[in-house]
Amino acid sequence: MNPSQSISVLDPRLNLPQSLAILGKPAQKAFIDFFTAQIRNANTRAAYFHNINRFLNWSEKKGIALPEIQAMHIALYIERLGTPREDGGSGFSIATVKQHLATLRVFGSFLVVRQILPSNPASDVRGPKHVVTTGKTPVLAGDEAKQLFASIDISRPAGLRDRAIIGVMVYTFARISAVCALDVPDYYQVGKKMMFRFKEKGGRHQEMPAHHTLIEYLEAYLRITNQEKGPLFRSIKKDRTGFNDKRLHRHEALAMVKRRCKAAGLGSQFTNHTFRATGITAYLKNDGQLEHAQYMAGHASPRTTRLYDRRSQEASLDEVERIILE
């Protein structure tokens, strides 16, 4: 199956994996139902679709039919994912390998319920041990974030939009998918406060008040867009004189972030998630409470919030600077 088909998983014209097609209509229907009825989040759907098709393609090449798949086959596949490739490429990270295994467990369980498989071959397979104490997302220090904002040319429409998007991520801790999903009415006034209504994972809605600096960024952007409905953040026209009606996609936002950071002299290693971590670190550094940060970020566990706290890294850098050769 062509990986590009992952973006159209709900398309009825979608070609099914051969290992499912040969099992007949019940298996084919189960495959489609798994993505349409069981997974509501578009990003999760795309990731699961990619993971499942990768495994099914692997099993087809090995000549293993779907009903013949056993725990040892899945264990071998999971082991191979984390092994460096013969062409010199590195294997997948432990986190990615565990995600693949989790996908196969959920999919296998669904096939058992639909009576396509007698048992779930992935249920007894153990994944690699993965202990995380600090997140890998690169974070901007406070002065670096200021440098980035100052470098954006706000005399142009794209500059006003980009400053506002980055501002929303920093000052609300919102995920980029939730930021891109904002409609104009999702930024609204309650009394003297301006509020955001984010559509988060799992169909959950999160309301957050707007920081005074963020209000300044948003109002400047909205003055030139004159929008009353539709997407809050839109794609720029080809002549870059204004915006079209198309909602900005998170991949477009990522390209923008890398371009803006590089232009500001900060490098291009930063991602959309950088600003979520930057905001959380700045909040905690200024005596913010972990439980409040957890709520604001929409984390189920404070352990997840701690992964975004990089204050200890700043302290480590201070200690490293004590190494002076005389």
Domain boundaries of the chain, sorted by first residue: 3-113, 142-313
pTM of the model: 0.65
The secondary structure of residue 133, as a DSSP letter, is S
Pairwise CA distance, residues 143 & 292, whole Å? 24
What size, in residues, is the chain? Answer: 326
Find the DSSP H helices in the chain.
18-21, 25-37, 42-61, 71-81, 94-113, 142-151, 157-172, 176-180, 212-225, 250-263, 272-285, 290-297, 302-307, 311-320
| Strand, helix or coil for residue 187 | strand
CATH second-level architecture of 142-313?
A: Orthogonal Bundle (1.10)
Pairwise CA distance, residues 45 & 8, whole Å? 10
Q: How would you write the pLDDT of the chain (326 residues) with one tens digit per residue?
A: 443 344 344 454 456 677 777 788 888 888 888 888 888 777 788 889 999 999 999 998 999 988 899 999 999 999 989 887 665 556 788 888 989 999 999 999 999 999 999 999 999 898 877 544 455 678 888 889 999 999 999 999 999 999 999 999 999 888 899 999 999 999 999 998 999 999 876 667 888 889 999 999 999 999 998 888 899 999 988 887 789 989 999 999 999 999 999 999 999 889 998 998 888 888 888 877 777 777 676 666 666 666 666 566 555 556 556 666 65
Q: Which of 224, 276, 260 is nearest to 151 (CA)?
A: 260
Pairwise CA distance, residues 236 & 248, whole Å? 8
Whole-angstrom CA distances from 60 to 33, 67, 85, 107, 125 are: 22, 12, 19, 17, 20
